[in-house]
Structure 1
Amino acid sequence: MTTVTASPGAGNRTVAGPGLPAGRVHIADRVLQKTAERAAADVIGVDAKNVHVEIVSARDTAAVRVTSPFPVPRLDDTEAVRRATPVLEAARAAQSELRSRLTRLFGREISRVDLTISGASAPQRKRVL
């Protein structure tokens, strides 16, 4: 690997490798938590304000605990209920997608995603005036 030191007028910056700065990047836990909450809300299909995330970090990996309501069709819409994916199957798919997405976003391995379903979220009935 090649290490290049910037010229004196550019500050004391060392570049390691082809265009990569030496050192570490630290991202505050709160930023990771908010990012994970929004990603989980997007993957699950609920409002981010109803999603709670806890992140347990180690050096190169993290485990994520997500608590969220889960979207279900309105029970009076029999056709939507018939077409709906079973909750357990949908939750497993959401866990897998969230693990992949967070690994990509955080740039580190997500060792596990624990998903706790805290309730059901049915779509609001639209009123016609």
Structure 2
Amino acid sequence: MATHCTSSMSTHLPTEEQIAEMVRRFYRQVLADDRLRPIFDAAITDWDTHHRVVQDFWSRTLLDTDRYRGHPYPVHAQLPLQPEHFDIWLELFRKAAREVLPADSAARAIARAEHMAESFKAGMFSFPRYEGPKLWKPAR
């Protein structure tokens, strides 16, 4: 009879309630931050719905549920964000994830958030504004 080996590094999955608490805690921190609050307050009119959407995203990411089917980049690309906002966002997210989720799930969530932040920054800020062709002029 074959036995199934389990790794000592097994994943401790978060509960849906832990994911919901992580999202609530994260946004409490966002709203307490004078640099992020104005951006989020202007963009989000229904916080309950927003929390559910974000909870669904993290449920899909961490528990492989099928509740979230959107694409977060286009929404964030419309916001008046600067690269430093993503650094603040990540700092607050890391704190919330580590406080609420099992350690290995927090690490996975943080890795995903870091990847998203880098991808968003690359898409939003990597190229300077195009100002037309530059004509080469020989030095005299």
- On whether the aligned pair clears a TM of 0.5, the verdict is no
TM-score, normalised relative to structure 2: 0.33
Which structure's residues are more often strand, by fraction?
1
Greater radius of gyration (CA): 1
Which structure's residues are more often helix, by fraction?
2
TM-score, normalised relative to structure 1: 0.35
Q: Which has the higher contact order (CA 8 A, sep 6+)?
A: 2
